[in-house]
Amino acid sequence: MSKNVGHMGLIALLLLGLIVPLFSQTTYAQDDTQVVIAGSTYLDELMRVLTQNFTDTTETETEFTFQAEGLTAGFEALCAGSVDLVMSTRPISDEELLGCETDFIEVLLAVEGLVLIPDMGITATLNCTTSDNLSNILGAGANEQLTWLDVSPTATSPDELTLYGPERDISTFLASLLPSEQARDDYETFATLNDVIEQLQTPGSNTLVFTTLSEWAALSEEERGDVRVLDITADDFTTCVSPTIEAVEEGNYALGRRLMLYVNANNLEKVSPFLNFALEEEGITTTTSDLGFSTPTTASLEAGRGNIIERRTGRTFSRPESPVATNTAEQGSIAIHGSSIASYRADIVYTAFNSKYAAVTLDVTPLGDTEGWQAFCGGEVDVLQVSRQATEEELATCRDNDINPTQVFLGSDAVVLVVSNEELPTCVSYEDIRTLIVNDSVDVDKGMMDDSEDVSEAPTEETEDSEEQAATPQPDGPQGPTDWSQFGADVPLLILPPALGSLENDLVFTEIAPGEFLLRRTDVPTVQEVPENTDLEAVDYRLGAIPNYEGGALTWAFWSEVQARDIEGLRPLEVGSDCVAPSVETISDGSYPFSVSSYLVFSDVALGDAFAGALLWDLLSEETAALLTEAEVIGIDRETLVEQRESLFNIIAQAQTARIEAEGEVTEEGVEEETGTEEGSENGTVNPDGSVNPDGTVNEDGTTGEEATPNATPQEVTPEAATPEEGSE
C-alpha cells in the first residue's frame, strides 16, 4: 500500500544515523494554562472556531497559541515535546514515527469527501467511476470541454457536459486528491446545491456537479429526488464504494480523507477539558458543516473520547492496513507442522491466503498433536496446526525455552452418525459402531500400532498406509451385518459412507480403536459408494438419500454439514457408553466423542517472518473470518476474530521490525568481518557472537560446531487465542 513505508527503508534511515530536526521555536507547551497548537494551516480556521467556542462557553483560564507552520514542522514539534496539539490532514508517517520521542494520542476531528453528481439521464447507465478518472475531470490538465467518456470510459454517452462546482474555494482539498496536486478552476459555480438540483433532475441536461460530502449530506431526500451520486472504485470496478462518512473513516472511499488532532500525551491533563468539549455535540458537530467538513460518526467520536480517558497512545485511527510489508507476488514458503486432522478447517485459511499470495508454498508436515507441541515448544518449528491446546507441561517447556505461542482458534466440529428410520436405536456404543462400519473379515492384527503413539497421527485411510488398505484383497461375501436385527430393528442395513481416505473415517476410527489399523467396509450391496456420475456433492447425495430409503440407512458426516442442509427426517445418533448426543454444547466442550477442534499457533520467530506474519494477519481479515463463519463450525465469532486482528497488529509489527533490525545488524557485522575489524582466527570464520569455527563454518544461530541452540525470540504474548498481554500497545 502506498501509505505504508517499507521497514527496510526505516531501518536504513536508522543505520545511517539520520536524525529528524526538532522544532526550534520557543513555545509554552509546558505551561499549565498555555495550549500550543501547531500543524496544518488547512485546519487553522476550524480549530480557532472550536477554541473560541470553548473559551466562550466554559469557565477556563486556558489560553491557546497557534503556531501553524505546516504539518511536517508540526510533527517535529510534537515529537520534540514542544507543542500540545497538532492539526493534521494526514497520518504521521513511519519516518516521522521512527524519530518520535513523545507519546501521542490520535483523535478524529472531522472528515471530508468529494462527491460527483451526474444528471438523472446518465445514472441509468453510469453509476460508478474510478478514482484515477478524477484527473481527467478536475485536474489542471484535463480537457477544456468534457464529455461523459472523460468521466468514465464505460459511459454509453459521448455527449459533451457542463461542469459545476461550489463557489466556496475547495481547491486545496481537490489538490490533495490529484496526483498533480493542481486542480482546474474553469467551471460554472453555484452558491448552494439547490441552485443546480433542477438541472440534475432533468435527464439529458448533461450536467456534472462536484461538491463536498458535507453539502450533499445536507440535502434532504425530498430535495434530492431521484438524483444519485457516483460510487467510486480504486480497483478497476471490483468494488464500487458510495460516499459516506463511514466509508471515509474506514479508508474505503478513495475521494476522502480523515482530519485529526495529535495530542501530546505528556500534557494530556491540561488539554483534556478542551478535547472533551470538542468531541461532544456542542463542539465539533456545530462547527464542521459551516466550514465544509463532515462530523465523524458517533462511534469515532466515542473512540476519540476513549483514547483521551484511557490514554491510548499510538496510531489508533491511522495505523497502516497491514503490519507486514510483503509483496503479494513474491515467492516464498511457510513450513507448517502438526496434526493432519486439524487441517479440516485450517485448509480454509490456507486457500484464502493463497488466493492473495499465490507464489507462497505452504508445506504441511504431519507430526501429530503431541509431537507437534513438543517440536514447537522445543524451538524446532514455528507454525503449528493442532487439534488441541497445549498441556500445562507443554506450556512449561515453551516458557523454559522463551517461546510464547500466539494461538488462533479456528472452530470446532464433529462427525455425527445419521439415520432416519425411527425403528433404529437412538444410541450406539463404540463396539456397535465397529460392528456396523468396520471390515472385520480381514486380520487387522498385522496393522496394530504401539498404543503409546499419538492418536492424532494414527495410521488411517488418510496416511500412506491407505494405499495398502485400498489394495488389500477383499473376501467375497458380507464384511459385517446386513440388517439391524442385532440392534433390535428388523430392517435391512444400507451404509452410505464417506469416501475411502476421508477425514470423517479417520476421526471415527481413531476414537473407537486408538492405535489400531482399521478398514472401512466396502461390501456391496450393503455398502453403496456415491456414484461418480451424480451432479450432487457427495455429502448432499448421502444425506439426501437417508430419509428416502425404506430400510435403515446410515451415514456419517460433519455436524456443520448436517446443520447447513437442514434435511427433514435426519436423526443424529447418540454415541458412546454414556450415550452423548451431538450438540453445540457437547461439541464445544469436547464431551461428544467425535469432536474435533482446529488451532493455528505461531511462535515469535513466525510473527517476524514476512510470510508467516502475513498468514496470521490474513487469517484475521474480514474475508477469511467470513469464510470461517460461513463454514458454520462451532465457536467462530466473526467480530471476535476481527477484534483479535486489532489486538495483534502491534505484536506482529514489533516482531517484523525486530527481524529487520536483526538483519540490519547481521549485515553490519558482515561488513566488519570483511574489513577485519572483528577479532578472530586467521583460518576460521568469525560468527556474529565473536566466536570462531575452526572449520570456517558458521551455524545459523551464530554458534560453532554442535553448540547450536533452538531459535527463540522472547515476545510477551499470552498462550490464549490470539490475545496479547496488557500494555502491548
- Check: CB of residue 36 under 8 Å from CB of residue 80: no
Phi, psi of 24 (to 5 degrees): -100, -15
| pLDDT given for residue 154 in this prediction | 84
Is the torsion defined by CA of 607, 610, 612, 616 positive or negative? positive
| pLDDT given for residue 449 in this prediction | 36
**Per mean pLDDT, which range of 303-307, 436-440, 661-665 is the poorest?**
661-665
What mean pLDDT is reported for the chain? 81
**Per mean pLDDT, which range of 367-381, 474-488, 547-561 is the poorest?**
474-488
Q: How confident is the model at residue 457 (pLDDT cuts 50, 70, 90)?
A: very low
Q: How confident is the model at residue 727 (pLDDT cuts 50, 70, 90)?
A: very low
Tens digits of per-residue pLDDT, 570-604?
Answer: 999 999 999 999 999 999 999 999 999 999 999 98
pLDDT at 471 over 90: no
Phi, psi of 405 (to 5 degrees): -70, 135
pLDDT at 726 over 50: no
In the chain, the largest separation of any two C-alpha atoms, in whole Å, equals 99
Mean pLDDT of the 355-369 span: 90
Tens digits of per-residue pLDDT, 254-265?
Answer: 999 999 999 999
CB < 8 Å & 24+ apart, contacts of 531-537: none
Rounding to the nearest 10 degrees, give the CA dihedral for residues 113, 116, 117, 121: -150
**Per mean pLDDT, which range of 33-37, 445-449, 665-669, 707-711 is the poorest?**
707-711
Q: How confident is the model at residue 38 (pLDDT cuts 50, 70, 90)?
A: very high
- Check: CB of residue 125 under 8 Å from CB of residue 297: no
E strand map for 133-281:
162-166, 188-190, 207-212, 231-233, 256-264
Mean pLDDT of the 471-487 span: 79
Higher-confidence residue: 112 or 717?
112
Alpha carbons within 13 A on the beta-carbon side of 665 = 10
Phi, psi of 700 (to 5 degrees): -60, -35
Q: Are strands 332-338 and 360-366 parallel, antiparallel or unpaired?
A: parallel
Query: How far is it, in rounded angstroms, from Cα 268 to Cα 85?
Result: 10
Higher-confidence residue: 675 or 526?
526
pLDDT at 50 over 50: yes
Alpha carbons within 13 A on the beta-carbon side of 321 = 11
Query: How far is it, in rounded angstroms, from Cα 521 to Cα 92?
Result: 65
pLDDT at 663 over 60: yes
Alpha carbons within 13 A on the beta-carbon side of 132 = 6
Number of H helices, E strands in the chain: 27, 22
- Among the listed residues 510, 436, 442, 432, the one whose alpha carbon sits nearest the alpha carbon of residue 470: 442
**Per mean pLDDT, which range of 335-344, 349-358, 386-395 is the poorest?**
335-344
- Check: CB of residue 384 under 8 Å from CB of residue 369: no
**Per mean pLDDT, which range of 232-241, 401-410, 534-543, 663-672 is the poorest?**
663-672
Q: Which three cell numbers stand for residue 494?
A: 444400507
Is the torsion defined by CA of 439, 445, 451, 452 positive or negative? negative
**Per mean pLDDT, which range of 76-85, 433-442, 640-649 is the poorest?**
640-649
Higher-confidence residue: 640 or 538?
538
pLDDT at 45 over 90: yes
Mean pLDDT of the 555-562 span: 95
**Per mean pLDDT, which range of 90-99, 447-456, 626-635, 685-694 is the poorest?**
685-694
Q: How confident is the model at residue 472 (pLDDT cuts 50, 70, 90)?
A: very low
Residues in contact with 674: Cβ distance below 8 Å, sequence separation at least 6, in sequence order: none
Whether the ω angle into residue 153 lies within 30 degrees of 0, i.e. cis, is: no
pLDDT at 170 over 90: yes
Higher-confidence residue: 440 or 125?
125
| pLDDT given for residue 420 in this prediction | 95
Tens digits of per-residue pLDDT, 509-545?
Answer: 989 999 888 999 999 999 999 999 999 999 999 999 9
pLDDT at 470 over 70: no
Secondary structure letter of residue 714 according to DSSP? -
| pLDDT given for residue 721 in this prediction | 33
Burial of 253 (0-12, 13-18, 19+ CB in 10 A): buried
Q: Which amino acid is at 35?
A: V
pLDDT at 462 over 60: no
| pLDDT given for residue 129 in this prediction | 92
Query: How far is it, in rounded angstroms, from Cα 687 to Cα 672?
Result: 11
pLDDT at 309 over 90: yes
Q: Which three cell numbers stand for residue 328?
A: 503479494
- Among the listed residues 374, 424, 383, 437, the one whose alpha carbon sits nearest the alpha carbon of residue 405: 383
Share of the chain above pLDDT 70, in %: 81
pLDDT at 453 over 80: no
Tens digits of per-residue pLDDT, 88-104?
Answer: 999 998 778 877 889 99
- Check: CB of residue 439 under 8 Å from CB of residue 474: yes
| pLDDT given for residue 474 in this prediction | 52
Q: Report the b/e string of 632-649 with b at 16+ CB within 10 A.
A: bbbbbeeeebeebbeebb
Higher-confidence residue: 3 or 387?
387
Q: How confident is the model at residue 230 (pLDDT cuts 50, 70, 90)?
A: very high
Burial of 418 (0-12, 13-18, 19+ CB in 10 A): buried
Residues in contact with 124: Cβ distance below 8 Å, sequence separation at least 6, in sequence order: none
| pLDDT given for residue 465 in this prediction | 41
| pLDDT given for residue 167 in this prediction | 94
